[in-house]
A and B are shown apart, each in its own frame.
Chain A
Amino acid sequence: MTQSSILIWPVLWPLVLGIVVFLFRGRTALWLSLAAAVGTALTSFNVCRAVHQSSTLVHEVGGWGAPLGIVLRADGLAAVMLGLSGLVGLVISVYSLTYFKSGSRKEQLFWPIWLLLWGGLNGLFISGDIFNLYVTLELVSLGAIPLIALAGTRDAIKASLRYLLLALLGSMSYLFGVGLLYMRFGVLDLMMLGNTITPDLTVYAAIAFMIGGLIIKAALFPMHFWLPPAHSSAPAPVSAALSGLVVTASFYMVARLWFYAFPALELAKLGQLIGLLGCGAILWGGWQAIRQERLKMLVAYSTVSQIGYLFLVFPLYNKAIEGSGIAWSGSILFAVSHAIAKSCAFLAAGIFIKVYGHDRISELRGAGRQLPMVTFAFALAGVNLMGLPPSGGFVGKWMLLKAAFVTGQWGYGVVMVCGGLLAFCYIFRVLEQFMTTPDENAPNLKSPAVMTYSVLVLAVTAVSLGFFTPVLLGILGVDSPVSLVSFAPEVLLP
C-alpha cells in the first residue's frame, strides 16, 4: 500500500538532510536546513491528515515485516504527536535562522544535530515495536545533549554531562526491560505484545525497568533534578525543543507502552504510585519555579511541574469506570498544548536574552513597553500554563479534573488546582515585572521580527487550542486505546 509509505518521510527527510547539511557551510547550509525543516513539517502534517482521513497507517520498512523488519505504525496518537513536532519544530527552525546569527562553526553545527534530533523524534512517534522505540529514544537523547553543550558555557557543559549520564542510565534500564520481555514472549511488536502478554514476575520486573528508565528521561519527580540546569543553560531554541518535544516524547513512550503493550495487566497500584510522583512534580516544580531568579530556570521548573499533570493519566484512567476515558484525551491535549506553550515561553526568553543580554527576572522591568509583542506572547503562553480559558491547557485540565471526579479520586483534583494556583504565582511574578514602568532612560530596543513572529504564532496557537479541540480529538480518536465516547453520557435536559 503506497499510501503508508508516506510514513517514512518524516523520519527520512530530516535524517538524510541532516547529514547532507553537515557537509556544507555558510548560506547554502542555511538554505538546506530551511528546506529540511519545511519538508519535515510538511511530511508530518501529511501523515496527520492521512491518518485523520482514513485510519491507522502501517508500513513495513523495506518490505520486511516483524520480527526482523521495522514496522512503522501511525494511529491517532502518533498522528497528533507528529503534527505537534511538525509545528513546533518548524517554528523553532525558523526562529533559529535568526537566533544563530554569527555563523560560527559551532552555531552551524546546530542544524545537522537538530535535524537528526527531529528525525529521531518523528521516528519515535511512529515506531511500532519496543526496540525501535529504544533506538529512536537514543537518537533523540544523543542529539539533545550536544545541542545543550553548544552553548559553550561551563554550566552548559556540566548540565549536558549530567543529563547524559542519567539518560544513559535510563536507556540501559529500558533496554534491560526490553530484553526481559523478549526473553519471555519472543515478540517486540507493540500490538502483538499487547495480545500475548500475561501477568508474570518477569513481566512486572520488565515493566519496572522500562518505566523506571523512562521516568528518568521524562524528568518526573524525583528524577527531575537534571532538567532545570540543562534546559536553562542551553541556547533558547534548544531549550524549546527539549522542554517542548523531547520531554513529551518520553511521556509518550510511557503512555504508548501502558495503553498498548500492557493494557491486559492489572497495573492500578503502579498507576497510583506514578500518580503520586506526578503530584510531587506538580507541587515541587511549581514551588521551585516561584523561587527562581532567572527566567529560563523558572520556565524549566514549570516544565517539571507540568509534566506531573501528564502522568496523572495513569491513575486517573480506570477502564472499569465509565467516563474515565476523558483522562486520556485530557492528558494528551494537555501534553500538546504544554509543548506549544513551553517552547513559546523559552523562545520568548531567548529574545529577552538577545535584547537585554540577561534573563534576570527582577531586571526585566518594563519589558512590556519596550518589547510589547514578545511580552504579549509570553503572557499568552502563561495563560496556557496556568490553565485559563480558552487555551488548550484549560481544556486539558478540565478533562483531567472531570476524570478525577468521575473516578472519585479527589486528591488528584485538589493537587491539580493547587498546581494551577502555583502557576498563577510564578507566571504573574514575571508578568508583573513586564507591566512595571521602565526606568526613564531605558533604551528603545527592538527585537528581530522573525523571532518575534515565530513566538507569536506559537502563543496564539496554544491559547486558541481550546477551540480546536474537536479536530484534535477527531485525530486522536483514530484507533484509540480508550473508548473516547464511553464516558458518562451527558444528561440532556430540555
Chain B
Amino acid sequence: MTAQAPGPGGSVLRAVLADYGGGNLRSVQSALARQGVAVIASSDPAVVREAPLAIIAGVGHAESAMAGLVASGLADALRERAAAARPVLGICVGLQLLFEAHEEGGAGLGLLAGPVRRIVAPRVPHMGWNTLAVLRPSPLLDGLDGQDVYFAHSFAVVPADRSVVAAEVEHGGTICAAVDAGAVAGVQFHPERSAKPGEHLLRNVIAWSRSA
C-alpha cells in the first residue's frame, strides 16, 4: 500500500502519546502538531491501543518508565496493538522500552529481542549532534542518510536480529540509531529537537504509520 501524504484532501493522522506519568511529552507533541498530526497524550489503555499511531517518548530511567507503563495498563495496550500490527514508534527511552533486559535495571516491553546496554565510549552520555548512517532502505529513514540529529543517552539497544537496524551512529563504536521492524519502529535520537532533519523524520513517520 502506498503511503498517503497528509495535507489537502488527505485525512489528518491521529496519534497518541503514551502518558505513563513520566517525563516531558510536550516537545514531541508540539513537533508532531507542527507537521499536521492531531496528537494527544493519554493514559487510557483503550485510546493507546486503538489510535492509528502510538508513540512512546519521554526521558528518564527506563525502569521507572516501564513501571509507569505497567501500572497504567499501557504496557498491555501497546503489546496488543503491536500484535495486531498497528504502528508503534519509540523515541529515545521509548525505543529502549521496545526491547528486553535493560542494563540500568528492569526489562522493557519485549516487542523486539535484544538487551539495552550502557554505551562504552570516552564520553558518556552520548550528547549532541551526530551523523546518521542509514543501512538499508526504510520509509522511516528515507532522505536522512548523512544528516545530523540530536542524541542524549547513556544506553543503547542491541537488537538480536540485526536486520531490524535501519540506521547507526558512531560514538566510541557503532550505536543503533533507528530500528524498523514492520509495525514496530523507533529512533534513539530526538526528532523533536533535531531541527530540519527532525521534521523530515516526523514526516516519514506519518507516511510510515499510514502504510505500516
A binds B: no
Interface positions of A (Cβ within 8 A of B): none
